[in-house]
Amino acid sequence: MSTAAIELVDLTVAYERHPAVHHVSGTIAAGSLIAIAGPNGAGKSSLLKAIIGELRPTSGIVRHELKRTDFGYLPQAADINRRFPISVLDTVLLGSWRQTGAFGCVVPAARNRAHKALGVVGLEGFEGRSIGSLSAGQFQRVLFARLLLQDAGVILLDEPFTAIDARTTRDLLDIVARWHAEGRTVLAVLHDFEQIRAHFPQTLLLARETIGWGATADVMSPLNLGKARAMAERWDESAGMCEPAA
């Protein structure tokens, strides 16, 4: 497992020449647990994709000494095709590609780790089920099991608790807390402010530009939240502006 600081230096990311993230600067310390909050269209998902290298910055840089395999990334549920005919166990085993390579054989040790990961997320006995037969909460548990198998030092979660039941959310938040205790760096795009205040010590409040970044109690102030809402209202009034990812 590798982890290191990630520095954002005057980072701007754009879709079709319309900026989704404006001139964001700051340092993500190794071992941080950070919520990324903000209104719809604030650039939250774009920021994660820029950090992981899926989007190229329009200007500025993302500076770190990490390899692509040091990152574990969970995209939004809407971006995942659940109609693909694959079992729960095989989905989890995709997390072992860091050790086996894209075309390597799955060794018994990896299978044992996959079974253990499914037990951790509460899905022991689901190995042979098709992912298409699962509820939203069960499928999210599978994706967390895959991240457990991946064993990455930096974990990026894009709206990981959207449209899932309260029990699953509690169980997965326990896993996030475990990752943090292990010294991993975790960034999560979230919409539930109470959830952020209860479980995430640091927050980046984004409205295409940085509204606040630091201790959650300070950043999630009524003044900052009001600024973020006001900026979102201005976007709605701007005819013809594209809608970048959240």
Report CA 107 to chain centroid distance, whole Å.
28
Q: Average the pLDDT over 37-48 and give the result.
A: 94
Q: What is the mean pLDDT of the chain?
A: 90
What are 96's two structure tokens?
Answer: 């072992």
243: confidence class by pLDDT, cuts 50, 70, 90: very low
At 240 the pLDDT is 44
Burial class (CB within 10 angstroms; exposed 0-12, middle 13-18, buried 19+) of 90 = middle
Task: Give residue limits of the domains in the chain.
Answer: 6-79+153-237
- Cα dihedral sign, 239-241-243-246: negative
pLDDT band at 30 (very low <50, low <70, confident <90, very high): very high
Q: Is the dihedral of CA 142, 146, 148, 153 positive or negative?
A: negative
Most confident of 73-82, 91-100, 131-140: 131-140
Q: Cα separations (Å) of 72 from 59, 93, 136, 180?
A: 25, 14, 20, 14
Q: Is the C-alpha dihedral spanning 163, 207, 59, 30 positive or negative?
A: negative
Nearest-angstrom CA–CA distance, 246 and 76: 10
Query: Token pair of 70, please?
Result: 């040091």
Express each pLDDT in 132-181 by its tens digit.
Answer: 999 999 999 999 999 999 999 999 999 999 999 999 999 999 999 999 99
- Rounded to the nearest 10°, the torsion over CA 240, 241, 243, 245 is 160
Rounded Cα–Cα distance for residues 193 and 106 (Å):
41
Read off the pLDDT band of 82 (50, 70, 90): confident
CB atoms within 10 A of CB 183: 11
If pLDDT is split at 50, 70 and 90, which confidence band does 228 have? very high
- pTM here? 0.90
CA separation for the pair 147, 100 (Å, rounded): 15
Q: Is the pLDDT of residue 209 over 70?
A: yes
Q: Check residue 2 and give its pLDDT.
A: 61
CATH superfamily of 6-79+153-237: P-loop containing nucleotide triphosphate hydrolases (3.40.50.300)
Q: What is the pLDDT of residue 197?
A: 97
